A and B are shown apart, each in its own frame.
Chain A
Amino acid sequence: MKKEFVDFSKWLRVNNIKTTLPTNIEEWESVVSINLSNNQIRELPESLGAFSNLSILNLTNNRLRKLPTCIKNLKKLRNLQCENNLLEELPSEIGALENLMVLNINGNRLKELPNEFYNLKNMTRLTLATNFIEHISEKLKNLNKLLYLSLDTNLLKELPDVFADMSALYFLDLSYNELTSLPNSISEIAELQTLLLEGNQIKNLPSLESHDMLIKLNLNGNNLENLDFDISKLEDLQILTLDNNNLKNLPDKICELKKLNYLSVSENSLEKLPTHIGDLENLLELDVEENCLKTLPESFSNLRKLKNLYLGKNEIKYEDVLNIHTIEFCDLAKT
Chain B
Amino acid sequence: MQNQEDKIICECGNKTVSQAIEIFQNTDLPYKKAKKLVTECNQTCCRRPLMALFNMIEFGSIDYEQIDFLIEQKRGR
0/1 interface trace, chain A 99-131, chain B, CB 8 Å (1 if under): 000000001010000000000000000000010
0/1 interface trace, chain B 37-50, chain A, CB 8 Å (1 if under): 00000101000100
* Contact across chains for B42 and A199 when beta carbons are under 8 A apart: no
Q: Give the shortest distance, in Å, between A61 (CB) and chain B (any CB).
A: 7
CB nearest to A244 among chain B residues = B42
How far, in angstroms, from A130 to B51 measured CA to CA in the complex? Answer: 14
Cross-chain contact of B33 among A84, A176, A198, A310 (Cβ < 8 A): A310
Cross-chain contact of A61 among B33, B69, B76 (Cβ < 8 A): B69
**How many B residues touch the partner, as a band?**
10 to 19
* Contact across chains for B44 and A176 when beta carbons are under 8 A apart: yes
* Contact across chains for A130 and B48 when beta carbons are under 8 A apart: yes
CB nearest to A290 among chain B residues = B42
Q: Give the shortest distance, in Å, between B62 (CB) and chain A (any CB).
A: 15
CB nearest to B72 among chain A residues = A86
Indicate whether B66 reaches chain A with its CB closer than 8 angstroms: yes
Given contacts A176-B44, A267-B42, A310-B33, contact A61 B66 (CB under 8 A): yes
Residues of chain A at the chain B interface (Cβ within 8 Å): 61, 84, 107, 109, 130, 132, 153, 176, 198-199, 221, 244, 264, 267, 287, 310, 331
Name 18 interchain pairs, CB-CB below 8 A, sorted by A: A61-B66, A61-B69, A84-B66, A107-B70, A107-B73, A109-B76, A130-B48, A153-B48, A176-B44, A198-B44, A199-B44, A221-B44, A244-B42, A264-B32, A267-B42, A287-B32, A310-B33, A331-B33
